[in-house]
């Protein structure tokens, strides 16, 4: 909204300083500051409101140290993240940008699913919350919608040295670019680091280009549901999910910035995606909101993220990576999420297999997800969280290095 207002003031009245809003870096910086301020200032008021309404977490009796102290701690803290993200985005971004529209829709959609889950847990006193099949159904619908938009929206393109539509001078070299509808994505650590879903579809369906949706949409659904639910599993210790998500979002911001900038993408020899740089505004707001939320969520937490936050943030990470064509980097960038999810899958699978074979179920870990395993071994949760953050930073740096290492 402010972008359009100051654009009007600049064009009509040449208002001093109004031209700053044309710069992505300025709007991104303001978005971080604004989201951080909103989350810290109004976060306390939201916590007081939730505490007054007795919207507290029902802690399961897992036999973990300190779990009794957490009973009654306000949940649904994801509302702080969502509100603190959407306000700067609405004020600072170009709302006609299709990428921004997709991310706003994703936020609202997943917020509804998360709120339903938390509502059932808190008010219906059902610790299991929303049934898994309904969560997956909502995530699948989101994946289908986003997949169809990417497939058919004319503004979702990439630029290549193919045609004669756009002529840009970079480092005194004239390059001719053409925006094309493409379904390529980036493969890390490989020299020719692009994978084309269209080519895979053509190979399977004998060159029928109209059947790419059969390949593409299930991949989108798998990525969104996997990252969203993995983040939900990770959200078990104070500050763990929010801190790791902030690290991941920061790394994605670097990828979005470089992919949407013709100069940087040319220098780094990476895929240039026109207009995707506007995502940087959303990412900046989300990063500021997560850091601001950590003000209240670090040990001992004054509020929990809840499924309202964990499902939404996880889905946003997945969708952002898809939009900037970096989804194949998620296993590395979201390595902690992956380990947490695999620990649950292997624990449950091994228990069922051994119970079927011997009649007595055995476990690989003392408890899953794996952060509870370390709690059972006597590590304090703040130490576990700090070390997981360090691993997350290392993985993020390694992922960023893929811009040049290939």
Q: What is the pLDDT of residue 19?
A: 81
Lowest mean pLDDT among 106-120, 157-171, 329-343, 392-406: 157-171
Tokens coding 142: 């989101």
* DSSP calls for 148-184: HHHHH-TT--EEETT-SSEEEEETTEEEEEEEE---E
Of 337, 341, 328, 311, residue with least CA distance to 392: 337
123 neighbors 116 (Cβ within 8 angstroms): no
Which residue has tokens 């509804």? 112
Mean pLDDT of 380-394: 95
Distance from C-alpha of 102 to C-alpha of 382, rounded to nearest angstrom: 35
pLDDT band, residue 60 (cuts 50/70/90)? low
Q: What is the pLDDT of residue 168?
A: 54
Q: Hey, which residues does 179 pair with through a beta bridge?
A: 159
Instruction: Please give the residue that has the higher pLDDT: either 270 or 197.
Output: 197
pLDDT band, residue 55 (cuts 50/70/90)? confident
Mean pLDDT of 38-48: 92
Residue 405 Rama label (left phi>0; alpha psi -120 to 50; beta): beta
Q: pLDDT tens, 221-264?
A: 999 999 999 999 999 899 999 999 999 999 999 999 999 998 88
Mean pLDDT of 352-365: 91
280-307 in b/e form (b: 16+ CB < 10 A) is bbbbbbbbbbbbbbbebbbeebbbbbbb
User: What percentage of the chain has pLDDT greater than the value 70?
Assistant: 92
Lowest mean pLDDT among 40-54, 174-188, 250-264, 389-403: 174-188
Across the chain, mean pLDDT equals 89
Q: What is the pLDDT of residue 57?
A: 64
Alpha carbons within 13 angstroms on the beta-carbon side of residue 15 total 13
Tokens coding 51: 């505490």
Q: What is the pLDDT of residue 164?
A: 45
Three-class DSSP category at 44: helix
Q: Which helix (H) or strand (E) holds 59?
A: none
Residue 240 buriedness (CB in 10 A; 0-12 / 13-18 / 19+): buried
Distance from C-alpha of 78 to C-alpha of 66, rounded to nearest angstrom: 22
3-state helix, strand, coil in the chain (%, to 5): 65, 5, 25
pLDDT band, residue 129 (cuts 50/70/90)? confident
Residue 235 sits at φ, ψ, to 5 deg, of -75, 75
Which residue has tokens 């300025």? 26
Q: What is the pLDDT of residue 161?
A: 53
Distance from C-alpha of 176 to C-alpha of 160, rounded to nearest angstrom: 8
Q: What is the pLDDT of residue 334?
A: 96
User: What percentage of the chain has pLDDT greater than the value 90?
Assistant: 66
Distance from C-alpha of 21 to C-alpha of 5, rounded to nearest angstrom: 9
Residue 10 has pLDDT above 60, yes or no: yes
pLDDT band, residue 160 (cuts 50/70/90)? low
Of 335, 318, 316, 310, residue with least CA distance to 399: 335
Q: What is the pLDDT of residue 175?
A: 52
Residue 166 has pLDDT above 70, yes or no: no
């Amino acid at each position: 909204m402010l972008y359009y207002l100051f654009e009007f003031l600049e064009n009509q009245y040449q208002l001093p300083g109004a031209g700053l809003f044309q710069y992505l870096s300025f709007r991104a910086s303001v978005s971080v500051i604004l989201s951080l301020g909103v989350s810290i200032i109004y976060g306390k008021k939201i916590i007081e409101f939730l505490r007054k309404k007795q919207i507290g977490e029902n802690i399961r009796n897992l036999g973990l140290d300190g779990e009794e102290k957490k009973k009654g701690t306000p949940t649904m803290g994801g509302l702080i993240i969502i509100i603190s993200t959407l306000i700067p985005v609405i004020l600072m971004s170009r709302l006609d940008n299709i990428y921004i529209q997709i991310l706003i829709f994703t936020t609202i959609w997943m917020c509804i699913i998360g709120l339903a889950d938390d509502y059932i847990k808190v008010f219906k006193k059902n610790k299991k919350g929303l049934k898994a099949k309904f969560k997956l159904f909502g995530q699948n619908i989101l994946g289908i919608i986003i997949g169809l938009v990417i497939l058919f929206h004319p503004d979702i393109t990439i630029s290549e040295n193919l045609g004669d539509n756009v002529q840009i001078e970079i480092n005194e070299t004239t390059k001719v670019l053409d925006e094309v509808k493409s379904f390529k994505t980036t493969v890390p650590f490989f020299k020719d680091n692009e994978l084309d879903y269209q080519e895979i579809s053509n190979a399977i369906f004998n060159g029928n280009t109209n059947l790419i949706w059969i390949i593409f949409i299930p991949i989108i659904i798998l990525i969104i549901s996997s990252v969203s639910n993995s983040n939900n599993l990770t959200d078990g210790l104070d500050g763990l999910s929010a801190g790791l998500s902030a690290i991941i979002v920061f790394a994605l911001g670097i990828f979005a910035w470089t992919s949407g900038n013709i100069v940087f993408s040319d220098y780094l020899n990476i895929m240039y995606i026109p207009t995707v740089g506007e995502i940087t505004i959303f990412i900046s707001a989300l990063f500021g909101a997560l850091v601001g939320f950590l003000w209240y969520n670090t040990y001992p937490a004054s509020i929990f993220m809840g499924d309202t936050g964990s499902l939404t943030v996880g889905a946003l990470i997945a969708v952002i990576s898809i939009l900037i064509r970096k989804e194949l980097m998620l296993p590395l960038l979201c390595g902690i999420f992956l380990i947490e999810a695999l620990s649950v899958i292997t624990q449950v699978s091994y228990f069922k297999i051994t119970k079927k074979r011997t009649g007595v179920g055995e476990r690989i870990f003392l408890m899953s997800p794996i952060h509870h395993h370390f709690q059972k071994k006597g590590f304090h949760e703040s130490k576990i969280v700090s070390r997981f953050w360090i691993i997350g930073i290392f993985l993020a740096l390694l992922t960023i290095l893929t811009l040049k290492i290939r």
